Amino acid sequence: MINIRRALFSVTDKSGLVDLARSLKKFNVEFIASGGTAAALTSASLPVTPVEKWTGHPEAMEGRIKTLHPRIHGGILARRDHAGDLDDLKRLGLDTIDLVVVNFYPFEQVLASGKPEEDIIEAIDVGGPSMVRAACKNHKHVIVLTDPRQYAELINLLDQNNGSVPEDFAKAAAARAFTRLVDYDSRVAEWFNGGNVESLVLQRVRPLRYGENPHQHGWLLSRWGASPSGLVAADQLAGKELSYNNLLDAEGSLRLLAEFDEPAAVIIKHVTPCGVGIADTTPKALELALMTDRVSAFGGIVALNREMDEATAAVLADMFLEVILAPGFTSAARTVFAKKKALRLITFDWNELKHRPPLEEIRPIWGGYLAQEADFGLPELNEMTVATKRSPTSTEWAAMKLAWKVCKHVRSNAIVFADERHTLGIGAGQMSRVDSAQIAVQKAAAAKLELYGCACGSDAFFPFRDGLDVAARAGATAVIQPGGSVRDDEVIAAADEHGMTMVFTGRRHFRH
Catalytic residue (one of 14, 25, 57, 137): 137
Contacts of 263 (CB under 8 A, 6+ apart): 278, 279, 280, 281, 282, 284, 285, 304, 305, 306
Catalytic residue (one of 69, 171, 270, 354): 270
- Kindly state the helix (H) or strand (E) to which residue 272 belongs, with its residue range: strand 272-278
- Kindly state the helix (H) or strand (E) to which residue 479 belongs, with its residue range: strand 478-481
Task: State how far the Cα of 34 lies from the Cα of 96, in Å rounded to an integer.
Answer: 17
Task: State how far the Cα of 409 lies from the Cα of 308, in Å rounded to an integer.
Answer: 23
Assess contact for 136 and 100: CB atoms under 8 A: no
Sign of CA dihedral 315, 271, 294, 397: positive
- Kindly state the helix (H) or strand (E) to which residue 18 belongs, with its residue range: helix 17-25
Known catalytic residue at 137: yes
- From residue 133, give the alpha-carbon distance in Å to each of 97, 106, 114, 370: 14, 18, 29, 31
Beta bridge partners of 504: 385, 481
**434, 440, 436: which is closest to 454 by C-alpha?**
440
Task: State how far the Cα of 461 lies from the Cα of 48, in Å rounded to an integer.
Answer: 71
- Kindly state the helix (H) or strand (E) to which residue 245 belongs, with its residue range: helix 244-257
Assess contact for 331 and 308: CB atoms under 8 A: no
Tell me the residue length of the chain.
Answer: 512
Contacts of 1 (CB under 8 A, 6+ apart): 161, 164, 165, 166, 167
**Axis crossing angle, helix 488-497 with helix 466-474, rounded to the nearest 10:** 20
Known catalytic residue at 140: no
Assess contact for 79 and 138: CB atoms under 8 A: yes
Query: Which residues are tagged catalytic?
Result: 137, 270
